[in-house]
Structure 1
Amino acid sequence: MHFLLLGATGRTGKHVASELLSQGHTAVALVRTAGSLTPRSGLTVVTGSPLSKDDIRSALSAASPLRPSAAIITLNTVRKSDSPFAAQLSPPRFLADSCANVCEVLEQAGIHRVVVMSTAGVGDSWGKLPWLSKAFMGWTNIKYALEDHGLVDKEIRLTKMDWTLVRAVRLEFDNPKQKPTDTKMDLKTLSSDGDGMRMSDSVSVASVARFLVKVAVEGLFVKSAVVVTN
């Protein structure tokens, strides 16, 4: 299969790209900064913004005659640093407007499958989120990302796309001291409301990436949200 990727330079997105290529698929990645992702066999890189419908259209045809059969979106908001208190750099509605643009362009092109990485706490999963997690999100600037992911949740349900929202619990990012086999952790799915989430839950970016690819390739959880944890 051939995929359109948005967010492929991020810490989860780069795993999605590698996972797709390792399975023999191909992809075109739309990146905001030239040189932030190196093209390689099976991966075409296009510089542009997900806020520009023309840039998204250019990405769709960048690997002609290949045509994406689905999109995987792992975009996130950007802060000045990794600190949860760092100032927000992304414009308001960056995620929501990007997702709306992608879905509109894909629909016009006759492409109806999109898988979006979201976060636990969005939509009906807020009620099941541990109270400490709620307090942390409300106290820090992570609340802005949560709000934007919530807008994505609303926007995508207004489309005619065959969408899936993958709501990840607390992400565990790459540890350079880990061996590759250490990241092959089992992934557990919960209902859209995340019933059963615990404060100690986390999920590795590598396992989320594998799940995103599996959902996109196999057509799982269509028109639904799913919470994932290790």
Structure 2
Amino acid sequence: MHFLLLGATGRTGQHVVSDLLSQGHTAVALVRTSSSLPSRPGLTVVNGSPLSKPDIKRALSATPSFTTSAAIITLNTVRKSESPFAPQVSPPRFLADSCANVCEVLGKAGIHRIVVMSTAGVGDSWANLPWASRVFMAWTNIKYALEDHGLVDKEIRLTNMDWTLVRAVRLRFDDSTQKPIDTKADVKMMGSGGVGMSMADSVKVSSVSKFLVKVAVEGLFIKGAVVVRD
């Protein structure tokens, strides 16, 4: 299968690239700076922005010998630092507008499958977040990312796309000092609402990546959302 990728330079997106290529798939990645994603066999890198429909169209046409099967979006908003109180750098509606652009361009090209990485706390999963998590999100600048993911969640449901929203709980990034975790094991799925979420829940980026690829390749959870954790 051949995929359009947005967010391929991010920590989850890089795993998605590796997982797709290792399974024999091909992909074209739309990135802001082409040098930020090294070229690899099976990967085509196109310089551009997800906020530009012409750039997305260029990415789709960059590999004329391949027919795009689906898009996988792992974009997120950006703050000035990792601090949850750091000012937001991304423009308002960055995620929502990017997703809307991709849906429009794909739809006109006759491509209807899209898988989007979201976050626990969006939509009907908000009520099932631990109260401490809700307070933390509401009182830090993480709330802006949550609001943007929420707009994606609402607006993508109004499209004719075969969408899937993967709502990850707290992301756990690779740490070489920790004992390796078996990333071959499937993530635990908690429905769209994430009933039973706890403060201890987390999911490794590599686990989310494998799940995103699996959902896209196998056509799972079409027109649905799912909360995942390790």
Q: TM-score, normalised by structure 2?
A: 0.97
Report the Cα offset of residue 101 of structure 1. 0.3
Q: Aligned partners of 2:73, 2:151: CA distance in 1, in Å?
A: 15
Q: Contact 1:61–1:67 (CA<8 Å) still a contact in 2? A: no
Report the Cα offset of residue 196 of structure 1. 1.1
Q: Contact 1:87–1:141 (CA<8 Å) still a contact in 2? A: yes
Instruction: Write out aligned runs for 1:37-186 (5 A).
Output: 37-178=37-178, 182-186=182-186
Q: CA distance change for structure 1 residues 172 and 185 in 2, over 3 Å: closer, same or farther?
A: farther
User: What code does the residue aligned with 2:150 have?
Assistant: G
User: What code does the residue aligned with 2:148 have?
Assistant: D
Deviations 1:79-116 (A, max 9, x none): 10111111100000000000000000000000000000
In structure 1, the gaps of 5 or more residues are: none
DSSP 3-state at the match of 1:226: strand
Q: Aligned partners of 1:179, 1:3: CA distance in 2, in Å?
A: 32
User: What code does the residue aligned with 1:114 have?
Assistant: I
Which residue in 1 is equivalent to 2:21? 21
Report the Cα offset of residue 155 of structure 1. 1.2
Q: Aligned partners of 2:21, 2:179: CA distance in 1, in Å?
A: 21
* Percent identity over paired residues: 77
Report the Cα offset of residue 185 of structure 1. 4.6
User: What code does the residue aligned with 1:115 have?
Assistant: V
Q: Contact 2:28–2:59 (CA<8 Å) still a contact in 1? A: yes
User: What code does the residue aligned with 1:98 have?
Assistant: S
User: What code does the residue aligned with 2:169 have?
Assistant: V
Q: Aligned partners of 1:150, 1:216: CA distance in 2, in Å?
A: 21
Report the Cα offset of residue 179 of structure 1. 6.1
Q: Aligned partners of 1:165, 1:124: CA distance in 2, in Å?
A: 12
Report the aligned-residue RMSD.
1.1
DSSP 3-state at the match of 1:177: coil
User: What code does the residue aligned with 2:153 have?
Assistant: D
Report the Cα offset of residue 67 of structure 1. 2.1
In structure 2, the gaps of 5 or more residues are: none
DSSP 3-state at the match of 1:35: helix
Report the Cα offset of residue 65 of structure 1. 1.2
DSSP 3-state at the match of 1:127: helix
Q: Aligned partners of 1:154, 1:96: CA distance in 2, in Å?
A: 9
Report the Cα offset of residue 181 of structure 1. 5.4
Q: Aligned partners of 2:195, 2:181: CA distance in 1, in Å?
A: 29
Q: TM-score, normalised by structure 1?
A: 0.97
Q: Aligned partners of 2:201, 2:79: CA distance in 1, in Å?
A: 24
DSSP 3-state at the match of 2:68: coil
